[in-house]
Amino acid sequence: MFVTSHPQVRETLERALAEDIGTGDITSRLTVPADLQAHGRFLAKQSMTLAGIELLPVIYQLRGGAKVHLQKESGASVPCGEILATVEGSASTLLECERTALNFLQRLSGVATLARRYVDAIAGTNTRVLDTRKTTPGLRQLEKMAVAAGGATNHRFGLFDAVLIKNNHITAAGGVTQALRYAQEFKGPIEIEVRTRAELDEALAAGAKHLLLDNLTPAEAKEWIAHIGGRAKVELSGGITLETVRSFADAGPDFISSGAITHSAPAVDISFGLTLD
């Protein structure tokens, strides 16, 4: 689930370690004997959906290595008090990697936990929860992996892998029909946002097969989806919260997208404790 061999992942970890350690961990150098060995454990301080645990071996390897024993895997539902992983090696190495490791685990598990809550909220419907491009700059690859760990579905990764014609594209192209016509040279997925019933009918007449309906109420969404009648896939978005997502899913869309899964996910509470051999 977490592809640690992806070059962007390794680069992100390298940058995070360099940002924190810089020219060296002064405190550990002054207070910890260079040859001291230690054990550490990562402990869940709340219930969560875990994500990013597979990054730990890479983080320690980048700083000279340590023995990492993963007790859980990404996607696992973990109760409060569970040990997530243990590590043993140089005390200085464990200490200098502590914050970077926790930052990734807490952030990514927060994303996975919120994604799982959205997925659970619409259980029993035929709707899938999608993420968006509203990710932390530089962390998109990892945050989308975390979304998947939470059971939600990744939307496009960027501007390069799918066409999503939004309102400003429609304005620039000169209308719905023109925008769809221009996009036909792309052989991958093509989705278009429609804001009015007139745009909806124009898009369907122009052969649109994937529609984005933005900022509707659940009642409006149900009406529009009934009007579409299966002629195109439907995605709902715009202000859909954890409290309202079920009512939108009951309107019958194929997808619901939520930027909140990544841009507003609170970090979970994970601790790291050090013990000496």
In the set 73, 88, 201, 214, the catalytic residue is 214
Task: Check the CA dihedral 77-83-89-91 and report its sign.
Answer: positive
pLDDT given at position 258 = 96
Looking at residue 2, what is its pLDDT? Answer: 84
Please, are residues 257 and 131 in contact by the beta-carbon 8 Å criterion? yes
* 237 membership: H or E segment, kind and range: strand 233-237
Of 10, 99, 181, 209, which one is the catalytic site residue? Answer: 99
- 60 within 8 A of 128, measured Cβ to Cβ: no
Instruction: Please tell me the distance from the alpha carbon of residue 129 to that of residue 166, in angstroms, as a whole number.
Output: 20
Active site annotation includes 131: no
CB distance 267 to 106 below 8 Å:
yes
Residue of 96, 98, 191, 193 with catalytic role: 193
For residue 81, give the DSSP letter: T
Residue 268: predicted pLDDT: 98
19 in active site: no
Q: What is the pLDDT of residue 241?
A: 95
- Among 166, 181, 195, 222, the active-site one is 166
What global pTM score does this model have? 0.96
Report how far residue 43's alpha carbon sits from residue 39's, in angstroms, rounded to the nearest whole number.
13
pLDDT for residue 175: 97
Residue with tokens 């940002």: 19
How is residue 194 annotated by DSSP? E
Task: Assign residue 151 a region (left: φ > 0; alpha: ψ between -120 and 50; beta: otherwise).
Answer: left
Tell me which long-range contacts 7-13 makes (C-beta under 8 A, separation of at least 24): 8/141, 9/55, 9/58, 9/141, 9/142, 10/58, 10/62, 12/138, 12/139, 12/141, 12/142, 13/55, 13/58, 13/59, 13/62, 13/100, 13/104
Res 116: pLDDT: 98
pLDDT tens digits for the chain (277 residues)?
688 998 999 999 999 999 999 999 999 999 999 999 999 999 999 999 999 999 999 999 999 999 999 999 999 999 999 999 999 999 999 999 999 999 999 999 999 999 999 999 999 999 999 999 999 999 999 999 999 999 999 999 999 999 999 999 999 999 999 999 999 999 999 999 999 999 999 999 999 999 999 999 999 999 999 999 999 999 999 989 999 999 999 999 999 999 999 999 999 999 999 999 6
Taking the C-alpha atoms of residue 195 and residue 175, their distance in angstroms, rounded to an integer, is: 12
Domains of the chain with bracketed CATH: 7-119+266-276 (3.90.1170.20), 122-263 (3.20.20.70)
Name residue 242's beta-bridge partners.
Answer: none
166 is catalytic: yes
Whole-angstrom distance, CA of residue 109 vs CA of residue 50: 5
134 is catalytic: yes
Verify whether residue 214 is a known catalytic residue.
Answer: yes
